[in-house]
Amino acid sequence: MKKDIHPSNYRLVAFKDMSNEEVFITRSCAETKDTIEVDGVEYPLVKMEISSTSHPFYTGKQKLVDTAGRIDKFRSKYAKRAAKQ
């Protein structure tokens, strides 16, 4: 195996899913300035938008996304251009 190609700063890091406030701790070398206290121990904190605890593939629950509003905006925006032609 090659020497000195892997990071040497692995440590316990808390990852927090911001959509459901779930926190899990694992070893990582991710850089972060935030910290969080879990069970009386302070860990570096990495904030995530989605994880396996909130992803629809793993939970089986679909989150409602405002696609209707986006489609209506698109149609109204480009209906004006189509009318000019």
The more confident residue out of 81 and 67 is: 81
Taking only the tens place, the pLDDT of each residue in 2-52 is 888 888 888 999 999 888 888 999 999 988 999 999 999 999 999 988 887
Residue 34 lies in a domain: yes
Is the residue at 80 inside a domain? no
Strand, helix or coil for residue 65: coil
Please provide residue 74's backbone torsions phi and psi, each rounded to the nearest 5 degrees: -60, -50
Is 27 a domain residue?
yes
Of the candidates 78, 12, 84, 6, the one whose C-alpha atom is nearest the C-alpha of residue 46 is 12
Report how many domains make up the chain: 1
Q: Tell whether 82 is covered by a domain.
A: no
Domain that holds residue 19: 1-54
Q: What per-residue confidence (pLDDT) applies to 19?
A: 81
Percent of residues in the chain assigned helix, strand, coil, to nearest 5: 25, 30, 45
Q: What is the pTM of this model?
A: 0.62
Question: What pLDDT is stored for residue 67 in this prediction?
Answer: 56
Residue 77 lies in a domain: no
Could you give the CA distance from residue 44 to residue 30 in angstroms, rounded to a whole number? 9
Single out the residue of 48, 56, 52 nearest to residue 13, CA to CA.
48
